[in-house]
Structure 1
Amino acid sequence: MSLSYILSQIYSQLLITPPIPHSPFHSQTIIVTGSNTGLGLEAARHLARLGASKLILAVRNLDKGLAAKRSIQESSGRGRGRDEKDDDVIEVWPLDLTSYESVTQFAARALRLERLDVLLSNAGLMTKEFKMAEEDELTVTTNVTCTFLLAMLLLPKLRETAQRFNVVPRLVVVASDLHFTTELVEERKGERIFGRLNQREGANMGKRYAVTKLMEVFIVRELAARIDQSTKPKVIVNCLTPGYCYSDFSREATGLDRLIFTVTKFLFARTTEVGGRTLVAAAAAGEESHGKYMADSQVSHINPFVHTPEGAETQRRLWEELVEKLDRVQPGVMDSI
């Protein structure tokens, strides 16, 4: 981790406050994953305030999702019919990003929507415990495999929306500035990167979250490069960091780690509301953000490793492995590009 990175993060956290979003989302249908709490909830609250016509909270726990819905209704005044049956603005749908079946069922339902303007992939996992889910380690399954399985399944709907309504939909992935802290050195040593990550012995779970966030950055870049923006219908693909925000990601921390998290949160962390602004900014960003990484609500620089020959090779490998994996899970899913 370079000194320049550390200084830039301190500067961002202490001296930059992302602006309150004002871009309207009237007539738009938006899916926000992981929206029952934290950044996803605050982003959804902003999107409701900004006029989204249909806001789908994609959550693992329906009870928590319904509580989030009520919270958004109360703060925004949106979707408050005489009873929940009258509400056609905010919906709560089940989505478990540790399960291929859950993702495919969710996508099948979403494909029946009249339109889809934004897929805001916010849901993520940070854990120090090594577990497997489907074919991969749990963090990889959640943050990478199923996140992009859902994206690929819904890309046709985003394209259809672009064509039918003459708009430019967005596919947004919430990454992290922690992607600066790794170059996948150990992971690149294996014949297959995903395979290396699935080895329990020697797994560095302390860095696993950062590793998956760099993987997300690489895959967003490759996907964006493969989506032809020269002709309509256009779909903007980008990713972002919300910065260091208050969240429950440190819930597994104990002892000294918990003390460090507590102190750094007090000194540097943004509120979840402020962090949520950055998600909305990416969902409203223009073509200048296509394939790019955003920080502080604007296009920003990324880990320099990405631009090296080794980074380019890593991006290629990750993409090819992901294509093979997702085509096996859902044959033909990658044809939508």
Structure 2
Amino acid sequence: MAVLGFLSFLYRQIFTTLPVPTGSYAGQTVVVTGSNIGLGKEAARHFARLGASTIILAVRNLRKGKDAKAEIEKDTNCGPNVLQVWEVDMASYASVKAFAARITTDLPRIDIFIENAGKATGIYTKAEDNESSITINVISTFLLAALVLPKLKESAEKYGIRPVLTIVASAVHATAKFTERNAPEEKIFDMLSDEAVFEKNKVDRYPVSKLLEVLAVQAIGERYPADSYAVTINCTSPGLCRSGLARELSDDSFHIQRSPIARSTEHGSRALVHAGSQGPESHGKYLSDCVISPTRGLAAGKGSKELRDRVWRELTQKLESIQPGVTRGF
């Protein structure tokens, strides 16, 4: 099964061409986190090219964000007020809260919100109270989602639209061994924050973070069905891309991302634009190569529902410990 999965991955990487985004985004407001480089910047470039009225480049480094803004403006000839550079550091809960508050007060509407910021690392560091990649890829990602969803729901009601919140996941969710799932009840995130556990399982850590994203999106879809929910929440895989994501990983991982089968960031970014443009049929779903796709590994089959229920329960408890009442945003 693993061999067949790898061969399928190779086939998709080599022979599947993702559709170039088309259509008009005139009048729409789009937010893209992690948009000073890589997939996020290329997705923002597509939205600018297709006429989005406001695009928020949500970045940790304002200087690099401003450089990205200037580059996109030059490339697309969009107006000088279309792109705005806002600061958010996903390693800081306070920064995430401040950014979400600014979203709520300063933007009249939100049509598309793409959570692209992420981290892959083989080096143990802590951010807030967890290992940094879990904080950034999982906890802060869903904290931000909970904080901005009321604004997306307000936009839906006021403007008669169905906003989309997309989380950038990965096909590597299928490879996660996730031995930390064997932790005692309500201790998964404690185990994930343990340095000794990280060192033992660090090759698995990025896949685990992506698996947790997929499981949480599935859980949202189950608890808040599309036909009674004003916002579409989905996740997408852009495939293996040549980006800076692996800069803190091993040399082997770095070279894989530079291999001939890896997509360009522009090519991969098409998946982000596609997912952010989908309707209720994608709510709670995982998209790969711009189609709704089955999840794999621990996110599918026997035991997957029990696992996602537990992950969702422990994740929401974690979010409530950061800001009481925040999960009411879902």
TM-score bucket (shorter structure): over 0.9
Tell me what 1:158 maps to: 152
| Aligned residues of 1:187 and 1:197 also touching (Cα < 8 A) | no
1:245 to 229, 241, 247: 241
**Alignment partner of 1:114 is 2:114:** no
Amino acid corresponding to residue 38 of structure 1 in structure 2:
G
Aligned counterparts, 1:216-255, within 5 A: 216-231=213-228, 234-253=230-249
Residues 1:222 and 1:267: Cα distance change in structure 2 (over 3 Å): same
**Alignment partner of 1:133 is 2:127:** yes
Shift of 1:290: 1.0
Between 308-317 and 89-98, the greater mean CA deviation after superposition:
308-317
**Alignment partner of 1:286 is 2:276:** no
1:255-297 Cα distance to aligned partner (Å, 9 max, x none):
xx34x64366332011111011110000011222111111111
Aligned counterparts, 1:185-224, within 5 A: 185-191=179-185, 192-203=187-198, 204-224=201-221
Residues 1:283 and 1:305: Cα distance change in structure 2 (over 3 Å): same
Residues 1:336 and 1:27: Cα distance change in structure 2 (over 3 Å): same
Amino acid corresponding to residue 237 of structure 1 in structure 2:
I
**Alignment partner of 1:326 is 2:323:** no
**Distance in 2 between residues matched to 1:29 and 1:130, nearest whole Å:** 37
| Aligned residues of 1:21 and 1:281 also touching (Cα < 8 A) | yes
Helix, strand or coil for the counterpart of 1:167?
Answer: coil
**Alignment partner of 1:96 is 2:89:** yes
1:57-102 Cα distance to aligned partner (Å, 9 max, x none):
000000000000001101111123xxxxxx2x11000000000100
**Distance in 2 between residues matched to 1:123 and 1:173, nearest whole Å:** 9
| Aligned residues of 2:21 and 2:274 also touching (Cα < 8 A) | yes
Shift of 1:250: 2.5
Helix, strand or coil for the counterpart of 1:230?
Answer: helix
Tell me what 1:335 maps to: 328
Shift of 1:49: 0.9
Shift of 1:305: 2.8
**Distance in 2 between residues matched to 1:193 and 1:263, nearest whole Å:** 30
**Distance in 1 between residues matched to 2:129 and 2:147, nearest whole Å:** 18
Unaligned runs of 5+ in 2: none
| Aligned residues of 1:23 and 1:284 also touching (Cα < 8 A) | no
1:216-259 Cα distance to aligned partner (Å, 9 max, x none):
0000111122224324x6210100100001011222345xx34x
Tell me what 1:58 maps to: 58
| Aligned residues of 1:28 and 1:54 also touching (Cα < 8 A) | yes
**Distance in 2 between residues matched to 1:110 and 1:252, nearest whole Å:** 31
**Distance in 1 between residues matched to 2:114 and 2:154, nearest whole Å:** 17
Helix, strand or coil for the counterpart of 2:202?
Answer: coil
Residues 1:15 and 1:107: Cα distance change in structure 2 (over 3 Å): same
| Aligned residues of 2:242 and 2:264 also touching (Cα < 8 A) | yes
Helix, strand or coil for the counterpart of 1:55?
Answer: strand
Tell me what 2:6 maps to: 6
| Aligned residues of 2:191 and 2:197 also touching (Cα < 8 A) | no
Tell me what 1:314 maps to: 307
**Distance in 2 between residues matched to 1:304 and 1:325, nearest whole Å:** 25
1:170 to 164, 174, 192: 164
Tell me what 1:299 maps to: 292
Shift of 1:304: 4.2
Helix, strand or coil for the counterpart of 1:35?
Answer: coil
Residues 1:263 and 1:157: Cα distance change in structure 2 (over 3 Å): closer
Amino acid corresponding to residue 298 of structure 1 in structure 2:
V
Amino acid corresponding to residue 224 of structure 1 in structure 2:
G
Tell me what 1:146 maps to: 140
Shift of 1:183: 3.9
Q: TM-score, normalised by structure 2?
A: 0.95
Tell me what 2:22 maps to: 22
Aligned length: 326
| Aligned residues of 2:175 and 2:297 also touching (Cα < 8 A) | no
Tell me what 2:37 maps to: 37
Shift of 1:202: 3.1
Q: TM-score, normalised by structure 1?
A: 0.93
Shift of 1:185: 2.9
Q: CA RMSD in A?
A: 1.5
**Alignment partner of 1:124 is 2:121:** no
| Aligned residues of 2:243 and 2:265 also touching (Cα < 8 A) | yes
Identity %: 43
Amino acid corresponding to residue 292 of structure 1 in structure 2:
K
Helix, strand or coil for the counterpart of 2:47?
Answer: helix
